[in-house]
Chain A
């Protein structure tokens, strides 16, 4: 009977499926990521061999992250200094393209950051912030610099230039937007930096974004671990020119780091109480690590 046949067709298919020998129930074992440091464009382990346990918000073990040491901090300074000449000497247009490329790469890893418990809206805001700074690279000099009408026959021009190497303590929250908000202004203006983060999964995943964005190695170096341990070495390092403590919640440590920075007259951004990371950053994140260079030349026939 046609109708019976019709009815039985799916049944016979099920039966056929059931006839296949049953595979044992098995979920695929995931390939975990090793969270290492990001120094000079490479992902080395800590020279000290130390790691620390990272858990997710439910307390489940997720990784043994590299715990950076004093030696790693010094290596990072070397890498940042080596990268400074080329990066600060790159055209502003080129830096803008690279920072925009970072935004593109971050956008494409949106799901990965969401899986690391970063709210989707925060990932979007971080991407948008990078785009904002990408546009600043070739505008900040015109906004901050210019010709000075001196009282004499002289050409006189002031231009902003990067301070050099900036050591940054990344804010704990918001993890991704905070991290991007402290790195982007510093590199957009031609500085190179060393970031201390104690959110290894987000920080090192961002490092992967940076590493695939045509950003030269050493422009951004990320050390995961304790700001209290590594911070003083960077704040007192004679080849570091600036210290950004905006994201540092530990007020006592901030004072220690500012005091250490005084030894070589580093530019210091102090911790910001109740900073709204999602608001308009204004110019200060950029101007904090910019110098003004003024060039004079006589005019004459």
Chain B
């Protein structure tokens, strides 16, 4: 079965008011900097705007503004008042959700149905959830009078730009900290729109500072001596550098890093549901998901049947214009990421795994990669060990539950895992044995502000979301 022919259904861009150039958001105002860089749409390579790359001096100004706001305004403010600012922000995100969704899809390349239905609503919900904690901190289980840490330096990735911003800023502010946040180099625009939202909410100047830039800007934040807390989401490679950089300081650190999740399908699983879960697990957000189910472990007895269904389902996936409401898979976020995905896929072929993609026409301009599966993958293959961070699934098989667990845990990562079986006791027994921070059983890639998220082992430490997410921003 091939895809139904649908007429194009593009979401209008007119709701987004792009400026030609953006400064840094420091102390409640946009300030110009010297180093301007273009930011593009990965789907078309069209230049969307220019943004400023912050240097060490800019970061220093942002940290000073955050410190001032912490000492004079935000720290002393009663929790109930902080809460109201956060509720306001949650509301404004919801009010401007269409604009944020379109801008996110433009700058990131993700399908509009994801930014519209997942990223933006969850970002608003995250602020709404943590708003309510701001005046209830003594009940959170971190002591009778938990104190904020001070200035939080936060560096976020490009895969969920606005949502990761919400995961970072909401708990930090609820706990009474002020922040300096750097969005990813390729996806600065929704963070800059968020700065505008802070202005609309009358958030006191300096409580939130947004500095755009690349790795050096991030390093300047992490290494700034007046930053009390570092929160980072991104690659394990950079996570190591940060962990080393803060050694011997009193900075508190949380790291949410890479993953190579096993999605385990047992022979008694509901195969059609499992196929939907596998597709969601690896092709959601082009596979640019640290908790993506990038290793499919399928019980040998149902492997052929499952792969046949999976291939049939993959043939119906629509790859293309992120702003089209029917699009399932959008653009790869950058040329650099595309080249990494291509390299690892080529390595997979070179190492002897069988590569398959459905026939699919990719746009001429922009960065694109067809949904791909590799079968005949062994645990030694690089595509079974390294995070590809793209729409590439490695399929391995197993015979016994013990073998499934052993293979699932045979990775330095430990962020997430999936289990598909109709047997309840098996779900609970396997979930107990998987060394991963989030286990999705008969579902995958579900997120909620109340539900803690974060990894075991080299997937990082600390949790975001829920009561647990406050711990990262409170002194104990």
A301 touches B (CB below 8 Å): no
Cβ–Cβ contact A163 & B456, under 8 A? yes
Cβ–Cβ contact B451 & A265, under 8 A? no
- Inter-chain contact total with CB atoms closer than 8 Å: 107
Q: Pick the interface stretch among B2-10, B37-45, B154-162, B430-438.
A: B430-438
Question: What's the minimum C-beta distance from A16 to chain B, rounded to whole angstroms?
Answer: 75
Cβ–Cβ contact B443 & A296, under 8 A? yes
Cβ contacts B234-249/A at 8 Å (1 or 0 each)? 0010011001100110
Cβ–Cβ contact A259 & B247, under 8 A? yes
Cβ–Cβ contact B243 & A296, under 8 A? no
Given A158-B466, A265-B240, A265-B460, are A254 and B248 also a contact pair (CB < 8 Å)? yes
Across-interface contacts of B461 in A (CB, < 8 A): 265, 267
Across-interface contacts of B460 in A (CB, < 8 A): 265
Question: What's the minimum C-beta distance from A252 to chain B, rounded to whole angstroms?
Answer: 9
Across-interface contacts of A293 in B (CB, < 8 A): 431, 436-439, 456
A251 to B248, CA, bound (A): 8
Question: What's the minimum C-beta distance from B430 to chain A, rounded to whole angstroms?
Answer: 10
> Which interface residue of B239, B427, B441, B457 has the most chain A CB atoms within 10 A?
B457
A298 touches B (CB below 8 Å): yes
Question: What's the minimum C-beta distance from B303 to chain A, rounded to whole angstroms?
Answer: 24
Checking B239, B436, B448, B468 against A152 with a beta-carbon cut-off of 8 angstroms, the contacting residue is B448
Cβ contacts A131-160/B at 8 Å (1 or 0 each)? 000000000000110001111101010100
Question: What's the minimum C-beta distance from B307 to chain A, rounded to whole angstroms?
Answer: 24
Cβ–Cβ contact A148 & B450, under 8 A? yes
B463 touches A (CB below 8 Å): yes
Across-interface contacts of B125 in A (CB, < 8 A): 151
Cβ–Cβ contact A241 & B457, under 8 A? yes
A295 to B424, CA, bound (A): 13
**Which chain B residues numbered 406 to 455 have a C-beta less than 8 Å away from chain A?**
412, 427, 431-432, 435-443, 446, 448, 450-454
Cβ–Cβ contact B240 & A238, under 8 A? no
Across-interface contacts of A148 in B (CB, < 8 A): 448, 450-452, 466
Cβ–Cβ contact B458 & A265, under 8 A? yes
Residue of A whose beta carbon sits closest to that of B468: A292
Across-interface contacts of B448 in A (CB, < 8 A): 148, 150-152, 154, 156
Cβ–Cβ contact B243 & A261, under 8 A? yes
Question: What's the minimum C-beta distance from A272 to chain B, rounded to whole angstroms?
Answer: 11
Across-interface contacts of A270 in B (CB, < 8 A): 250
A154 to B431, CA, bound (A): 16
Cβ–Cβ contact B452 & A294, under 8 A? yes
Cβ–Cβ contact A292 & B443, under 8 A? no
Cβ–Cβ contact B438 & A296, under 8 A? yes
A275 to B343, CA, bound (A): 51
Across-interface contacts of A111 in B (CB, < 8 A): none
Across-interface contacts of A298 in B (CB, < 8 A): 442-443
Across-interface contacts of B471 in A (CB, < 8 A): 287
Chain A interfacial positions (CB closer than 8 Å to B)? 89, 143-144, 148-152, 154, 156, 158, 163-164, 238, 241, 251, 254-255, 258-259, 261-265, 267-268, 270, 282, 284, 287, 291-298
